[in-house]
Amino acid sequence: MSEAEFFELANRWLNGQCSDEESAALEKILKENSKFRRAFLRLTNLEVGLRDLGSGTEEVAAVPFAKTSQWSKTAVIGWAVAALIGVAAIVMSSLDPNDLNTEDDFAGIDETEEGDHPVAVLSKLAEAVWSESSQHSPAEGGAIGTGVIALESGLVQIDFFGGASVSLSGPAELELVSHESAILHAGVLTADVPPAARGFEVRTGEIFLEDLGTRFGLSAVSDSEAELYVFDGEVRATGVSGDSILVAGGEGMELKNGKAIPQDSTKTEKYPQISKVYEGAGSEERDRYSNWREASLELRQDPRLIAYYDFENLSAQTRRLKNRAQIDKASELDGGIVGARMAEGRWAGKTALDFRGEGDRVRFAIPGEWNAVTLFAWVRIDALDRHLSSLFLTDFFDPNEFHWQISSKGALHFATSPEGVIDIPKHNRRFYSDIFWNPKMSGRWFFLATTVDCETNAVQHYINGEPVGFSGGTNREKPLTHFQIGKADLGNWSDPIWPEAAIRTLNGRIDEFAIFQEALIAEEIRKLYVIGKP
């Protein structure tokens, strides 16, 4: 054992974190090595010094688990000696009366850097219904900050940044405290704790649990009552009295008013299993996917379509993105996949294209002229790390062509000019939507749509089916004449106007894209969102 390993182990022992095995290992090494024995005595000696000084400071607010002082239990004969020990403590603490700035409140210490920062990821949802009191109602894949999540029904899986994974079964209320701790206010959970996350803590009422390895189920009954089942490994449960018990794998315990009562250890079915979360999520996902597929088949027949790409049944070898719109010579409008890779779409089993590298794109040549256009796409934005990230851009920027993209600030952006690149500041009509994205939403699927109508001179952006306003732009009131596309890219920009500012590759995925020759109305956009949302 190295000195550093020994020091780590000795510290764990002092902190009361050692499992029985660790404590036995410490015993062994102390017997064998006199140098470590001396180091150990120096460490406990330091503990005594610190504790004597510590007793001179003011109390830390809110320590409900504090054990009442031993002295209160002192027997009649013992009072004199107890008083003496008290005297000794005072003598020690008087060594250092000024250095401790005890007037400062601990609340003033700026240690709240975890504040609103996320501490976990919601990795899976299965028929989950959030309760109104839930402080967070994250989407799948979304990060969750500290605070309470309240589930009315269904199952969710929460992966803590510290490495522990918790399956929660509604109705339940779980408060996320940090990367490695949580409070179960109500309901039932199962925690899965890999070695790197050992020490993961869950509190329920007055009962404190520390996972010393692998997996346990916990059910909150009341403030002083809980049921615990350890599937595997070891859990330390500490009651309000400060007494701890170790519960080993295969053991069930009823923890009640500070006592642990062994329970029938076969009743484990109430604890949610991660596999069930996935099964549940799977069936729900399959339903949504097949509903969308039906609607998608119908959509193909919409006569207003210029082109429609459902990104279905792609393989790693696929180089042609099929136009599914049921129009004459539909395959003329098939896209050519360049660089972009096949990836998972909104649902398990649905395919998408992943855009990342400088060259990734789908090439199109779409002839025609229209007085109105609707564009929609399901997009997973991983990052907005370009000044502008491409959705659908015509090559160069010839008169009446348009560029549909996302700004680095997180706004959907539509631009067109009747003059093309001639005197751009004067003629370019630019429409930035309200900001809808920030990096916390990385990895989430969005339904983005824009409708443009030259007759009414109206441009409308939609985010997830809802119309949104503008956060900026230029020449927005100037008339629009008509539109054309010609050669164009999805997810990139070929033949840019300024070669030095060329890279606008999307960093994310697309798994559905359509162009219509009419401006769809708000209700149609909303329906498309509802049927397609993951």
Among 63-71, 361-369, 415-423, 519-527, the segment contacting another protein (CB under 8 A): 63-71
Measured distance CA(82)–CA(85) in Å, rounded? 5
Cβ pair 295, 310 in contact under 8 A:
no
Shortest CB 63 distance to another protein, Å = 5
Shortest CB 229 distance to another protein, Å = 20
Asked if 66 touches another protein (CB under 8 A), the answer is yes
Asked if 6 touches another protein (CB under 8 A), the answer is no
* Shorter beta-carbon distance to another protein: residue 49 or 336: 49
Asked if 92 touches another protein (CB under 8 A), the answer is yes
* Shorter beta-carbon distance to another protein: residue 26 or 514: 26
Closest to 59 in 3D by CA, of 120, 98, 102: 102
Site string for another protein, 115-154 (x = CB under 8 A): x---------------------------------------
Measured distance CA(503)–CA(390) in Å, rounded? 9
Contacts of 206 (CB under 8 A, 6+ apart): 64, 65, 223, 224, 239, 240
Asked if 213 touches another protein (CB under 8 A), the answer is no
Cβ pair 78, 85 in contact under 8 A:
no
* Shorter beta-carbon distance to another protein: residue 91 or 521: 91
Cβ pair 496, 357 in contact under 8 A:
no
Cβ pair 352, 380 in contact under 8 A:
yes
Measured distance CA(265)–CA(228) in Å, rounded? 10
Of residues 174 through 193, those in contact with another protein by CB under 8 A are 177-181
* Shorter beta-carbon distance to another protein: residue 82 or 424: 82
* Shorter beta-carbon distance to another protein: residue 97 or 425: 97
Phi, psi of 9 (to 5 degrees): -65, -45
Among 5, 84, 336, 385, binds another protein (CB under 8 A): 84
Measured distance CA(171)–CA(315) in Å, rounded? 41
Other C-beta atoms closer than 10 Å to the C-beta of 456 total 10
With helix as H, strand as E and coil as C, how does 29-93 read? HHHHCHHHHHHHHHHHHHHHHHHHHHCCCCCCCCCCCCCCCHHHHCCHHHHHHHHHHHHHHHHHH
* Shorter beta-carbon distance to another protein: residue 19 or 263: 19
Among 2, 68, 266, 317, binds another protein (CB under 8 A): 68
Among 93-101, 224-232, 253-261, 492-500, the segment contacting another protein (CB under 8 A): 93-101
Asked if 51 touches another protein (CB under 8 A), the answer is yes
Sort strands 165-178 and 147-160 into parallel, antiparallel or unpaired. Answer: antiparallel
Cβ pair 502, 493 in contact under 8 A:
yes
What is the distance in angstroms between the CA of the first residue and the CA of the last residue of the chain? 52
* Shorter beta-carbon distance to another protein: residue 246 or 424: 246
Of residues 102 through 121, those in contact with another protein by CB under 8 A are 104, 106, 109-112, 114-115
Asked if 94 touches another protein (CB under 8 A), the answer is no
Among 70, 275, 315, 317, binds another protein (CB under 8 A): 70
Shortest CB 165 distance to another protein, Å = 16
Among 21-29, 322-330, 415-423, 425-433, the segment contacting another protein (CB under 8 A): 21-29
Asked if 23 touches another protein (CB under 8 A), the answer is yes
Contacts of 518 (CB under 8 A, 6+ apart): 304, 372, 374
Tell me the residue ranges of DSSP E strands in 285-371. Answer: 305-309, 320-321, 335-338, 341-344, 351-355, 361-366
Measured distance CA(519)–CA(458) in Å, rounded? 9
Among 1, 2, 5, 78, binds another protein (CB under 8 A): 78
Of residues 217 through 276, those in contact with another protein by CB under 8 A are 238, 242, 245-246
Measured distance CA(534)–CA(527) in Å, rounded? 14
Shortest CB 141 distance to another protein, Å = 23
Shortest CB 185 distance to another protein, Å = 15
Among 1, 65, 148, 474, binds another protein (CB under 8 A): 65
Shortest CB 207 distance to another protein, Å = 13
Asked if 87 touches another protein (CB under 8 A), the answer is yes
Shortest CB 232 distance to another protein, Å = 20
Among 5, 27, 287, 385, binds another protein (CB under 8 A): 27
* Shorter beta-carbon distance to another protein: residue 15 or 317: 15
Contacts of 105 (CB under 8 A, 6+ apart): none
Measured distance CA(198)–CA(212) in Å, rounded? 5
Among 46-54, 256-264, 323-331, 464-472, the segment contacting another protein (CB under 8 A): 46-54
Question: Running DSSP on this structure, what letter comes out for residue 242?
Answer: S
CA gyration radius, the chain: 31
Cβ pair 82, 74 in contact under 8 A:
yes
DSSP 154-214: EEEEEEETTS-EEEEEEEEEEEEEETTEEEEEEEEEEEEE-GGGTT-EEEETTEEEEEEEE
Asked if 2 touches another protein (CB under 8 A), the answer is no
* Shorter beta-carbon distance to another protein: residue 78 or 303: 78
Shortest CB 66 distance to another protein, Å = 5
Among 99-107, 250-258, 333-341, 384-392, the segment contacting another protein (CB under 8 A): 99-107
Other C-beta atoms closer than 10 Å to the C-beta of 209 total 23
Shortest CB 263 distance to another protein, Å = 19
* Shorter beta-carbon distance to another protein: residue 147 or 418: 147
